[in-house]
Structure 1
Amino acid sequence: MTAILLAGVLAGCTVGPQYKPDQFAVPAGFTDAPHAATPEEIARTNAEMQDWWAQFHDAELNALVRAAIAGNYNLKIADQRIVAEHQMRQETASAWYPQVDAMTGGGDDRYSVNIDNWPLRPGNPANRPEASVLTYGARASWEIDVFGRIRREVEASERAIDESIEARRGVLVTMLADLAGDYMDMRATQARLEIARHNVRVAQDALSLTQRLFAHGVGNNLQVSQAQTEYDSEIARLEPLQAHFDRDAHAIAVLTGQPPGALEEALAAPSPLPVMPPFPQTLPSIVVANRPDIREAERAYAEDTARIGVAVAQLYPNFSVPLTFNPQASAAYQAFQLGGMSWQFLMLASMPLIHGGRLTAQIARARATAEASRLHYRQTVLHGFQEVEDAMSDWQHDTQLVARLDRASADATLTNQRATRLYGAGLTDFLNVLSSERTLLDVQDRLAQAHQAQLRDAVTLYTAIGAGWQGRALRDTHLPVDQSQQNILAKAFSR
């Protein structure tokens, strides 16, 4: 009893390093940020970023986001990983408590008669080879966590739960980015399809005009052949664009948890490009702390630090209390008599002595793993800053590109109109018409792609700052077990 009390006093001792967050200096702001952030601007930015997809003012995109959050299978898989980590923590924490097993049994036992029968076997005066045996009892063991091995393992399991939660948030952020990105690509592809169809009509009109002029003795069959080639080339642009649209529609459907073709018809309805949101008024560097991958890396470092303590505790004595209660008899009425009682109650202690360096190697490995996690955390932070800087730079440069291509599109449209009128009046060669049409198509297609890139830049920036998971509670992560279906023993001893 004294030993048990002493072990209880020592139970407050936990070996191994205590976790301390890594002190890592980060930039106070971003290179391309408009200005230093005020508390009010930070609060407004955080509010806008919580539902960042709403900044595009596209009702269909908002509906798809709701459907994806409810039905995406990657999110559901991440939910179950959280469940698994919770149960792993429960399994680890069970080592704190006595482990008790009940047993009972009975049957016949026969001894060999081809061995020395003297002295007579106790309880069997005639030394008969057969005997009936009835047994019942319990076995128990209890490890006293003097040096905190179990506590460190539970701590590591709790950090693993935190990791799984952050990983699930990361899945959500990635899913939102994929969905919004595919949606932007799909709408931009629709715009490019409309441009291509318009140019098909223009090429057909040019072909008809060339054929009429040739029929009236103006022009030659070379011009007719050139017009026919241009018309066929414009038609050939449609199929690759349609295939691209189909792939985006399939990807969006799968992200919402539906078969690939489920949304193809609904999404095929013409729709304008989403509204380009304004550049955030402020982008303080503290928002990078919202990135789930950074938060997950920090929790991984905390988990690996706790596992150093698990390895260190192996060097210290281990205290346990084994208990066995195992009465045996040959008749039921004898099973509860004092003579049939059999039990054992001990206080055991073990101390590692010689293991060929295995335990110290485990400690060194745990320390190296924790240091790798710390360095990975720093690398993840730097990568996060890089992604934000790149996204801001791309947004600003693509905005300038859109403005320039807008002017180029207006100029190309005017040039094409003039060339068509002059050709119709017989004042210029058809080659000028073809050249102006190709220039106009190229500029319009590049403008549509620039709009697509600009929308993608906004999605990338919102994703880079880790927006979208805030304010969204985790789903119920308890296993769907009906307590009413469990028997009374399961209810009593399920802890």
Structure 2
Amino acid sequence: MRLALLILASATLAGCTVGPDFQRPATPTPENYRGATERQEPVAGTPQATLGIGPQARWWQAFGSPELDALVDRAMLHNQTLAASDATLAAAAHDARAIAGKRLPQIDASARVEQQQANLATFGFSSSSLGLAGNPDFHLYSVGGGISYDLDLFGGVRRQVEQARAQAEAQQRRTEAAHLTVAGQVVNQVLSIAAIRAQISTAEMLLQEDQRNLDLTQKRKQAGEGTLVEVLNAQSQYVADQGDIPQFYQQLEEARHLLAVLVGVSPSELGVTEFDLSKLVLTPGIPVTLPSELVHKRPDILQAEANLHAATAEIGIATARMYPDISLGATLSQAGPAISDLVTNSFRGYDLFAGLTAPIFHGGTLKAQRAAAVSRAQAAAATYQQTVLEAFQQVADLLSALQHDAQSVATQAQSVAVAQHSLQLSRRSFQVGNSGILQVLDSERLYQRASSNLVLARSRQYLNVARLYVATAGGWTR
């Protein structure tokens, strides 16, 4: 009866869980990412951000390239970094289930076979006095089992389960972020390949202009109207521009090799990657997640929130160690000198027990552990706030880049048109003898610089659009 009352009283206390309950951080309230005083004049005919629910799950499809979509799908299936992240996520889920198992009764079974020799002298007897030739040998067979249960009076185990699940959620968010990052890296590499191929195309076009200048100077020299110096100047420009092209091809091959690693294959298995920047789509409207929704969508913010949850649960774990704990249990054993004795009641034994452990003096260790847990929770809260601020900053930067890139592309396009016209006039003036070859070469250098800058501006625009998608997209789900 006393044992039953103890169990009842302990079960009543078992509903107590010490430590603070996790409260989800308050949602930020800003309606926009950028300040009202910042320049926000849109450029007609260029991509514009639209605040709303944000990009779709497969946001890379907005670029309108089935080949790009196929590469992202291959990366999601075969990227080794993602495979490691998926396995780590599975391990975290198993760890959480393992800790949750502590809340249930722990049952064990045992069986044992022994051969023993009794030392009669230990008990004050001699073998001869008992008519034995020596110490007797005998066999002992035993089977049994036990059950134990931690009442978890102050919720220490419950907090451990809560912490483990929060840590598993943090790993899940980390895995989602890894998938999102790899998808973004694949898109960036594809855009880089397309940009480098555009640079190669521009360099080869300029090389053709160099060849025209060289042919023109040679014809003028043969006609007696030009000089060898003019021919050598044109030839020097041709050779210098020709030397830039191998470096572009080196960059192109390195970009392909990195893309192969992201996709999870060797460079020789990657296949054709002839992406054309002009054939990729820039949609006029780019959906961007509202600030109030971004904190519930971005994997890095959700991971920081889960880390804060785990740190909050750790305070409860440390607090529970400062209070008493009661465990209940029972054992049943059956032992005898013969196997047939294992079913005989006379060889059966059992016990029921209740154990109490209570901290008395630990030199301040338990209080220090709790104080450390509180400090770690404060650090996790600050990290969460910092993660949110950095996310807002990243989106604000990319929104500014979206506007400025459009302005830059428009300006560079005008610069190319002016430089091309100037080159045409300079070459015509040289043909009729009104100017020298140096003026033509200067005009060509301006045209070359403007053409290269236009390619870089367009490439940067595509890359920043992709980064904006990644910055406001949610985690990957299979």
**Same fold per TM (> 0.5)?**
yes
Deviation readout 1:134-184 (Å, 9 max, x if unpaired): 222123322112211111111111212221221122112211221111111
> Contact 2:52–2:290 at 8 Å: present in 1 too?
no
Paired position in structure 2 for 1:152: 159
Deviation readout 1:16-70 (Å, 9 max, x if unpaired): 11111223644222226879xxxxx999843644333232223322222232233
Between Structure 1 and Structure 2, how many residues are aligned? 462
Deviation readout 1:79-131 (Å, 9 max, x if unpaired): 22221121111100111122222221213223557x5441589xx99572533
Pairing of 1:406-417 with structure 2 (within 5 A): 406-417=413-424
Paired position in structure 2 for 1:229: 236
Are 2:364 and 1:357 aligned? yes
Are 2:457 and 1:454 aligned? no
Are 2:182 and 1:194 aligned? no
Q: Hey, what's the Cα distance between the residues in 2 that align with 1:226 and 1:282?
A: 52
- Structure 1 gaps, min length 5: 36-40, 475-495
Q: Hey, what's the Cα distance between the residues in 2 that align with 1:439 and 1:153?
A: 68
Letter of the 1:453 partner, please give it.
R
Paired position in structure 2 for 1:275: 281
Structure 2 residue matching 1:136: 3-state secondary structure: strand
Q: Percent identity among equivalent residues?
A: 27
Paired position in structure 2 for 1:21: 24
Q: Hey, what's the Cα distance between the residues in 1 that align with 2:122 and 2:60?
A: 89
Structure 1 residues 44 and 285 mapped into 2: Cα distance closer, same or farther (>3 Å)?
Answer: closer
Q: Hey, what's the Cα distance between the residues in 1 that align with 2:29 and 2:436?
A: 63
Q: Hey, what's the Cα distance between the residues in 2 that align with 1:318 and 1:10?
A: 10
Counterpart pick for 1:118 among 118, 121, 124: 124
Pairing of 1:440-479 with structure 2 (within 5 A): 440-465=447-472, 467-469=473-475, 473-474=477-478
> Contact 2:30–2:292 at 8 Å: present in 1 too?
no
Q: Hey, what's the Cα distance between the residues in 1 that align with 2:349 and 2:135?
A: 23
Structure 2 residue matching 1:154: 3-state secondary structure: helix
Paired position in structure 1 for 2:291: 285
CA offset at residue 325 of structure 1? 2.6
Deviation readout 1:464-495 (Å, 9 max, x if unpaired): 22x153xx544xxxxxxxxxxxxxxxxxxxxx
Are 2:8 and 1:2 aligned? no
Letter of the 2:253 partner, please give it.
D
Structure 1 residues 339 and 42 mapped into 2: Cα distance closer, same or farther (>3 Å)?
Answer: farther
Paired position in structure 1 for 2:178: 171
Structure 1 residues 362 and 282 mapped into 2: Cα distance closer, same or farther (>3 Å)?
Answer: closer
Structure 1 residues 412 and 296 mapped into 2: Cα distance closer, same or farther (>3 Å)?
Answer: same
Paired position in structure 1 for 2:391: 384
Paired position in structure 1 for 2:192: 185
Structure 1 residues 8 and 281 mapped into 2: Cα distance closer, same or farther (>3 Å)?
Answer: closer
| Greater displacement, 351-360 / 19-28 | 19-28
Q: Hey, what's the Cα distance between the residues in 1 that align with 2:276 and 2:283?
A: 21
- Structure 2 gaps, min length 5: 42-47
Structure 1 residues 58 and 311 mapped into 2: Cα distance closer, same or farther (>3 Å)?
Answer: same
Structure 2 residue matching 1:327: 3-state secondary structure: strand
| Greater displacement, 244-253 / 306-315 | 244-253
CA offset at residue 219 of structure 1? 2.0
Structure 1 residue matching 2:265: 3-state secondary structure: coil
> Contact 1:139–1:324 at 8 Å: present in 2 too?
yes
Q: Hey, what's the Cα distance between the residues in 2 that align with 1:329 and 1:432?
A: 112
> Contact 2:102–2:157 at 8 Å: present in 1 too?
yes
Structure 1 residues 243 and 287 mapped into 2: Cα distance closer, same or farther (>3 Å)?
Answer: farther
> Contact 1:71–1:256 at 8 Å: present in 2 too?
yes
> Contact 1:30–1:283 at 8 Å: present in 2 too?
no
Letter of the 1:7 partner, please give it.
S
> Contact 2:333–2:348 at 8 Å: present in 1 too?
yes
Structure 1 residue matching 2:269: 3-state secondary structure: coil
Q: Hey, what's the Cα distance between the residues in 1 that align with 2:327 and 2:395?
A: 54
Structure 1 residues 48 and 364 mapped into 2: Cα distance closer, same or farther (>3 Å)?
Answer: closer
Pairing of 1:69-468 with structure 2 (within 5 A): 69-111=76-118, 116-118=122-124, 126=132, 128-263=135-270, 265-268=271-274, 272-280=278-286, 284-289=290-295, 290-465=297-472, 467-468=473-474
CA offset at residue 435 of structure 1? 0.8
> Contact 1:7–1:146 at 8 Å: present in 2 too?
yes
Q: Hey, what's the Cα distance between the residues in 2 that align with 1:292 and 1:229?
A: 54
> Contact 1:326–1:342 at 8 Å: present in 2 too?
yes
CA offset at residue 308 of structure 1? 0.9
Query: TM-score under structure 1 normalisation?
Result: 0.87
Query: TM-score under structure 2 normalisation?
Result: 0.90
Deviation readout 1:387-431 (Å, 9 max, x if unpaired): 011111111111111111110000111111111222222221010
Paired position in structure 1 for 2:68: 61
| Greater displacement, 138-147 / 50-59 | 50-59
> Contact 1:191–1:273 at 8 Å: present in 2 too?
no
CA offset at residue 329 of structure 1? 2.2
Q: Hey, what's the Cα distance between the residues in 1 that align with 2:474 and 2:252?
A: 26
CA offset at residue 195 of structure 1? 0.4
| Greater displacement, 58-67 / 441-450 | 58-67
Q: Hey, what's the Cα distance between the residues in 2 that align with 1:385 and 1:311?
A: 35
Structure 1 residues 130 and 24 mapped into 2: Cα distance closer, same or farther (>3 Å)?
Answer: same
RMSD (Å), alpha carbons: 2.6
> Contact 1:101–1:140 at 8 Å: present in 2 too?
yes
Counterpart pick for 1:46 among 35, 50, 53: 53
Letter of the 1:171 partner, please give it.
A
Paired position in structure 1 for 2:44: none
Q: Hey, what's the Cα distance between the residues in 2 that align with 1:125 and 1:275?
A: 104
Structure 1 residues 44 and 393 mapped into 2: Cα distance closer, same or farther (>3 Å)?
Answer: closer
Paired position in structure 2 for 1:488: none
